[in-house]
Amino acid sequence: MQRRDFGKAALGAALLAAAPRAAGAQARRGGQVVIAIVQAPPSLDAHVTSAQVARNVCLHIFETLYARDENAKPVPELASGVTISDDGKTYVFAIRQGVKFHNGKVLDAADAAASLERYRTIGASANLLAAIDTVRATGPNELTITLKAPQSTFLDNLSSPRAPIAIYPASEAAKPANKIDYIGTGPFRFVEYSPDSHVKLARYDGYSFNPGATGRDGFAGRKEVFLDSVVFRFMPEAGAREAAFRAGEVQFLETVDTDVAKKLGADKANTIYKALPFAFQIIKFNHALGVTGDVNFRLAAQKALDMGELMALASPDNYELDGGWVFPASAYHTLEGAESYNKPDIAAAKALLAKSAYKGEKLTFITDPLRADQDTATLFAERLNDIGVNVQVSVADWPTVSKMGFTPSGWNFWTHGLGIEPFEGPASVMLPWVNGLSQQKPDPEVDRLYAAFNAEMDQARRKAIFAQFQTRLYAQAIALKCGNYGYFQASTAKLKNFVPFRIPRMWGVWLEG
């Protein structure tokens, strides 16, 4: 067996300065924060949903063996480390000792084994663990996982926050989906869930801090809680969220539009946060339907768009133009193959269109009602009209659009955000295009590169493979990346030491006065 170090990356100077322990006597204990979120979680069983709103709540209650740090690197959380065999197929995890669940039970390897087995059966992203052959508790605090074949992304998968592979007590892990009691090891414990109103959590005073952590660090780190409780209030209407915030009924807004952020930011009683990047704005082509299966047509659309114009409309004052298909902070970020990103050329677009199979037929662009998505679809339709393409924008609710977008008929174009994938890294970005899932027609080269990436254990060679994948995306215009967008959040100025991240983390913060 060979020991490989997958320890926590060093924190940046700014983050260290903001860490609660550095705040010393400034931190105050007590109080409740009410957070307005856009909808109710479909479930609080962390295994069975990948919804962002569920993640906002669940990652305060539950923890995983490995978690992602501020830069999305896998780091130990409920495991203290891992030993990986020379052949890359056996992982032996040391389980942290003395960690207690919210019901008082001490965490052991049997809990971890039962939780992983449950996730393999009913997990919303069960394919994350598809490489596993066996999971065994080989000691009270030792978990051994064997893989069918070496997989370079296994720790990435295990630490994915998409639908978290949360560790439950073995008694809960034996229960079916959505039948568990919400018992975790996290810094907050579950209090109540009113499906039409809110979720309430309270500080878990028996929480066991990760001894290897010195400060707040992504989904990992030192999770020190000063607040007595947190309430996640479900408020779909933006106007209602703003009114409740102004009235003092809500202390934190998970998301606000640019104009609202400007208005609220003019009041010194409020603090505005800007998180960038949070996601990509992407445009998908249906390769299985008509002319959008023609590479010349897709390349014509790519040439017709000014991404700066599009992003300024869809995400004003909160975007960046970047052609890489992972976030700039990623070790895998590259501009290789992205030379054609944001190079609008109407003459070239028309020439490519003339070489395509397009004959003047009406094409359908599906979108949900989110303003950024509608703006993207509308401007796309206008710019393609400029080169002679007839595009009709069709708006429907998100469940309808997302269901249609994974079928081979009824649409030619679809836009939405891609957030958790570029945060997690290259394998997660590649996966939506494997077997033609997102473009509705398999691309053998994409499938080959994904398999090669997963099998390659050398990081330098993995970087080269991802660069080839990105080159393929642009050369074939498999989909279009418009740019990176962020979000604005608002809080009462009395909330101190908050740092934006993938969820509104309520550890490390406190209320003044």
Structure confidence at residue 231 (pLDDT): 98
Structure confidence at residue 9 (pLDDT): 31
Tokens 């299966």 belong to 293
First-residue to last-residue Cα distance in the chain:
54
Whole-angstrom distance, CA of residue 380 vs CA of residue 306: 10
Q: Residue 291: helix, strand or coil by DSSP?
A: helix
In sequence order, the 6+-apart residues with CB closer than 8 A to the CB of 428 are 156, 160, 162, 420, 421, 422
Whether 198 contacts 474, CB under 8 Å: no
Q: How many other CB atoms are there within 10 angstroms of residue 30's CB atom?
A: 11
Predicted structure pTM score: 0.87
Q: Exposed, middle or buried, 19 (CB in 10 Å: 0-12/13-18/19+)?
A: buried
CA of residue 486 relative to chain centroid, distance: 13
In sequence order, the 6+-apart residues with CB closer than 8 A to the CB of 42 are 49, 51, 53, 54
Whole-angstrom distance, CA of residue 355 vs CA of residue 295: 10
Whole-angstrom distance, CA of residue 220 vs CA of residue 71: 11
Q: Exposed, middle or buried, 196 (CB in 10 Å: 0-12/13-18/19+)?
A: exposed
Whole-angstrom distance, CA of residue 231 vs CA of residue 248: 14
Phi then psi for 407, rounded to 5 degrees? -125, 155
Structure confidence at residue 513 (pLDDT): 78
For 459-468, which contacts have Cβ atoms below 8 Å and span 24 or more sequence positions? 459/331, 462/152, 462/332, 462/426, 463/331, 463/332, 463/334, 466/326, 466/332, 466/334, 466/426, 466/430, 467/334, 467/336, 467/337, 468/337
Whole-angstrom distance, CA of residue 467 vs CA of residue 330: 13
Tens-digit pLDDT string for the chain (513 aa): 333 333 333 223 223 333 344 444 578 999 999 999 998 999 999 999 998 999 999 999 999 999 999 989 999 999 999 999 999 999 999 999 999 999 999 999 999 999 999 999 999 999 899 999 999 999 999 999 999 999 999 999 999 999 999 999 999 999 999 999 999 999 999 999 998 999 999 999 999 999 989 899 999 999 999 999 999 999 999 999 999 999 999 999 999 989 999 999 999 999 999 999 999 999 999 999 999 999 999 999 999 999 999 999 999 999 999 999 999 989 999 999 999 999 999 999 999 999 999 999 999 999 998 889 999 999 999 999 999 999 999 999 888 998 999 999 999 999 999 999 999 999 999 999 999 999 999 999 999 999 999 999 999 999 999 999 999 999 999 999 999 999 999 999 999 999 999 999 999 999 997
Name all domains of the chain by residue range, CATH numbers in brackets: 28-238+494-511 (3.40.190.10), 277-487 (3.10.105.10)
